[in-house]
Amino acid sequence: MKEYVYADNAATTRLSNKAFESMLPYLQNEYGNASQLYSFARSPKKALKEARQVIATCIGAQPSEIYFTSCGTESDNWVINGAVQQHLPIVTSSIEHHAILRPCESAKLSGCSVSLLPVTKEGIVLLSSVKEVVHSSCGLLSVMYANNEIGTIQPIKELATIAHENGWLVHTDAVQAMGHTRINVRELGVDMLSASAHKFNGPKGIGFLYIKEGINWPALIKGGAQENGLRAGTENVASIMGMATALEENVTSVSENEVYLSHLEEILISKLIDSGVLFYRNGAGNHIRGNISLSFPDQSGEAIMHRLDLKGICVSTGSACDSQNTQVSHVLKAIGLDETLAKGTIRISLGKYNTEQDVIRIVQELTRILK
């Protein structure tokens, strides 16, 4: 079997051993429906309560503010659709994930006011831009915590302050950031936050939405009383346990992981410079560690990706959620990247299971391809 170097952790991550082990009891032994009243349901019901508490503690929230969903995309759609149902104007950024942008397109067709904020060449939303558009009596500001393609971290706390001063609600899509940097919803001042387990070494098909206590938000899925009547559907106890375990594990070691990934980044960039390969790095200094967007002039990012794949190295040309679209991404267009650079862009996203040898191998193969 080919020995792979997996360097696409912004697309998905390996399930941690602890998360896997925490899921097992609820797949074959304690498989009762947590919504039932009989004794066989007590163990999964207790597990749900404990998982909700763990996640809440990890982000500085109350357990009653955590709502389980199937993924980050569902959480984002819930937020945007809720704004539409309440006829709230929506302001978001031009580099959001399509889980925000596509629902916003639908919102516009429904007659909802939607404004897209520009960003700097580093992918940062300027506070002055928000002040210009957030001025009506009430609305929703939704800005991602960290960008999935270039890793840039936004000034969410400052943006939230401006929005709240004008009576607006604030949502942040923290799918790329959760478990990879310290997040406290109280300190950030956000009213809602989306997350997805498979981005922080949890299982696929499970996520959560934080809704601040006191925020009256419409239900997305109706048909049952689960999640306080706001998100119907039988609870996926095994995956919820895996998500809580993975998040707690990552949050506990977040500082250590950030230092380690910064170290791997430095090795990759320095060795790539030493190789003589011409490249440009996208994004800002304040970014999710391990997320490295590189542009190579007059090259094809797709061709580089495929040639690396032949050598057993997994990278991306951008967002895995839109990988079938071979056009220059909306993120690279929004930051004003020259087309000759944009077409030659790949994303290397390192995770805690990557090694120095992985990074060296990536540089070696890139050098062979590009020189």
Residues labelled catalytic: 321
Q: In degrees to the nearest 10, what's the CA dihedral of 11, 70, 146, 293?
A: 10
Q: In degrees to the nearest 10, what's the CA dihedral of 135, 140, 146, 150?
A: -70
User: Nearest 5 degrees, angle CA 70-CA 76-CA 81?
Assistant: 110
Residue with tokens 């001042």: 189
Q: Report yes or no: 233 and 207 within 8 Å, Cβ to Cβ.
A: no
Report the C-alpha gap between 208 and 64 in whole angstroms: 12
What single-letter DSSP state applies at residue 329? P
Residue 142, both tokens: 């939704």
Give the DSSP H/E element, type plus range, for residue 90.
strand 90-93
Residue 20, both tokens: 């896997």
For 210-223, b where at least 16 C-beta lie within 10 A, e where not — what string?
Answer: bbbeeeebebbeee
Report the C-alpha gap between 173 and 102 in whole angstroms: 14
Backbone Cα Rg of the chain: 21
Q: Report yes or no: 165 and 194 within 8 Å, Cβ to Cβ.
A: no
Nearest to 23 by CA among 6, 42, 47, 57: 47
Report the C-alpha gap between 100 and 61 in whole angstroms: 23
Amino acid making up residue 162:
I
Q: Report yes or no: 287 and 146 within 8 Å, Cβ to Cβ.
A: yes
Report the C-alpha gap between 357 and 349 in whole angstroms: 15
Phi, psi of 364 (to 5 degrees): -60, -45
